[in-house]
Amino acid sequence: MILGLIRLGARTGYDIKQTIEVTTRFFWNASYGQIYPELRRLEGAGLVESRPDPGSSRKRTLYDLTPAGEKTLHEWLTGPGDLFDMRDEALLKLFFGDLLAPDEVLANLRRRRESFEEVLGLFRAIEARGPEAQHGYVYPKKTLDFGTELVQWMIDWYAQAERDLAGG
Amino acid sequence: MILGLIRLGARTGYDIKQTIEVTTRFFWNASYGQIYPELRRLEGAGLVESRPDPGSSRKRTLYDLTPAGEKTLHEWLTGPGDLFDMRDEALLKLFFGDLLAPDEVLANLRRRRESFEEVLGLFRAIEARGPEAQHGYVYPKKTLDFGTELVQWMIDWYAQAERDLAGG
DNA sequence: CCTAGCATGTAATACGTTACATGATTCA
DNA sequence: TGAATCATGTAACGTATTACATGCTAGG
């Protein structure tokens, strides 16, 4: 991920984290505690090169991919092994719904739906930044669309489950 | 989760793990390395009680909830704070699609779709066990339905993305 | 001048998996 | 009798978060 973000134009560790916050964090997150040590590790492995920023008044370290870094990035992007996992505590609580009264289950369903509605608002806000934030790249928008549609699907599913429970 | 599974009828650490494997593992997993130490911790906290199995030829430890355990379980089930997170490496690769040739992106989309189709087959196999495996509980089936429909949605999304890419 | 944001990092902690180790029992 | 499965556990390792620490600078 870090190699890719540098390749797309993120220059510093801080910059990488800022980008993650409005893009991949919903399906692939990373903290400063990972990013900075990892940048050093990548440099040690010869995949990135660092240099102090010449044009800036701030002291910050700029990173670029080396040819080896480009190669590693491309190999990962075309390689096998696509990890997928999710943890969903609301679904786990739903699994135990038989241990609750119907109104308690209903409250849980509603709470989860509302939290997804907030996420949807967040996605719409990011979307509203428009295409100029994308620097000509089209796939970040595609993954954002995935997120928007997925969250919308979740909202619909929970709304339907609420109706099922209330109705009969 | 462990309190809930004991409550639903899982008696031993092994039993808990077996149940997880065919139910919650897709949205909430746990390994033996977590389960056995956690059972001891729960007993130390007075939330569960253990006793050797009297009616079995095997040496195994049976667990039951204490009243304090029931209370803690109910408080968790009705309480706030529903963690949700997912890691999706295929989506991350899609995010970097601008760095790939169209046929490489297409191969990634197809691979992910196919892996979801396998998961769908797994879910259908679990579903085929029928209602007698549910011991009269209805919500485990409801979460399985969620999984089936979600995976189906994912398959459709990826199939559509493949068409978008191939067509225009 | 002062606050928000830029910028980099470490240490402690928590979380979770994997591999290993052991042994009994059921059933073909 | 031998393989699969029941059954319990630990140690090492890897991953990730959180809290903390530091200091600069741009802009109101």
Any alpha helices (H) in B61-138, and if so which ranges?
67-78, 89-95, 102-128
Dihedral of the alpha carbons of B118, B120, B126, B127, in degrees to the nearest 10: -150
Nearest chain B residue to A105 by CA distance is B78
Longest dimension (CA), chain B: 68
B37 in a domain, yes or no? Answer: yes
Residue A107 has pLDDT above 80, yes or no: yes
The answer to whether the CB atoms of B82 and A73 lie below 8 A apart is no
Contact A112/A92 with Cβ under 8 angstroms?
no
Give the mean pLDDT of chain A: 95
Nearest chain B residue to A93 by CA distance is B77
Can you read off the two tokens belonging to residue A92? Answer: 């786990």
Cβ B56 to strand D below 7 Å: yes
Q: Say what the pLDDT of residue B55 is.
A: 83
Q: Are A93 and A158 in the same domain? A: yes
A35 in a domain, yes or no? Answer: yes
Closest CB to A98 among B81, B96, B139 = B139
Q: Are A24 and A65 in the same domain? A: yes
Cα distances (Å, whole numbers) of residue A65 to A24, A49, A75, A164, B46: 20, 6, 14, 53, 55
The answer to whether the CB atoms of A95 and B4 lie below 8 A apart is yes
B44, with CB counted inside 10 A (0-12, 13-18, 19+), is exposed
Single residue among A78, A112, A138 that ends a domain in this structure: A78
A131 in a domain, yes or no? Answer: yes
Single residue among A47, A78, A109 that ends a domain in this structure: A78
A66 in a domain, yes or no? Answer: yes
Q: Are B162 and B94 in the same domain? A: yes
Cβ–Cβ contacts within 10 Å for residue A136, how many?
A: 7
Per-residue pLDDT of chain B (168 residues; tens, 9 = 90+): 999 999 999 999 999 999 999 999 999 999 999 999 999 999 999 999 999 998 888 899 999 999 999 999 999 999 998 999 999 999 999 999 999 999 999 999 999 999 999 999 999 999 998 777 788 999 999 999 999 999 999 999 999 999 999 987
Q: Are B94 and B74 in the same domain? A: no
Could you tell me the CATH number of the domain that includes residue B34?
A: 1.10.10.10
Mean per-residue pLDDT, A102-121: 97
Q: Are B123 and B66 in the same domain? A: no
Can you read off the two tokens belonging to residue A138? Answer: 């089209």
Cβ B30 to strand C below 7 Å: yes
Q: For residue B113, list its beta bridge partners.
A: none
- Our CA-based measurement puts residue B8 at a distance from the nearest CA of chain A, in whole angstroms, of 8
Mean per-residue pLDDT, A122-135: 87
List the one residue out of B91, B146, B153, B90 whose CA is nearest residue B123. B146
Q: Are B34 and B9 in the same domain? A: yes
Nearest chain A residue to B139 by CA distance is A95
Cβ A60 to strand C below 7 Å: yes
Give the residue, B62 or A134, on which the prediction is more confident: B62
Cβ A33 to strand D below 7 Å: yes
**pLDDT per residue over A5-62, tens digit each?**
999 999 999 999 999 999 999 999 999 999 999 999 999 999 999 999 988 888 999 9
A83 in a domain, yes or no? Answer: no
Contact B146/A157 with Cβ under 8 angstroms?
yes
Q: Say what the pLDDT of residue B147 is.
A: 98
Q: Say what the pLDDT of residue A167 is.
A: 83
A127, with CB counted inside 10 A (0-12, 13-18, 19+), is middle
Q: How many domains does chain A have?
A: 2
Interface mutation target, options B2, B84, B126, B163, chain A, most CBs of A under 10 Å? B84
Q: Are A162 and A96 in the same domain? A: yes
Give the residue, B54 or A72, on which the prediction is more confident: A72
The answer for residues whose C-beta is within 8 angstroms of residue A42's C-beta and 6 or more apart is A2, A3, A48, A69
Q: Are A104 and A41 in the same domain? A: no
Contact B127/A85 with Cβ under 8 angstroms?
no
Q: Are A69 and A118 in the same domain? A: no
A161 in a domain, yes or no? Answer: yes
Cβ B41 to strand D below 7 Å: no
A67 in a domain, yes or no? Answer: yes
Residue-range definition of the domain harbouring residue A42 = 2-78
Q: Are B57 and B95 in the same domain? A: no
Closest CB to B85 among A76, A87, A150 = A87
A153 in a domain, yes or no? Answer: yes
Q: Are B93 and B72 in the same domain? A: no
The reported pTM is: 0.95
Q: Are A47 and A8 in the same domain? A: yes
Single residue among A16, A46, A78 that ends a domain in this structure: A78
Residue A94 has pLDDT above 80, yes or no: yes
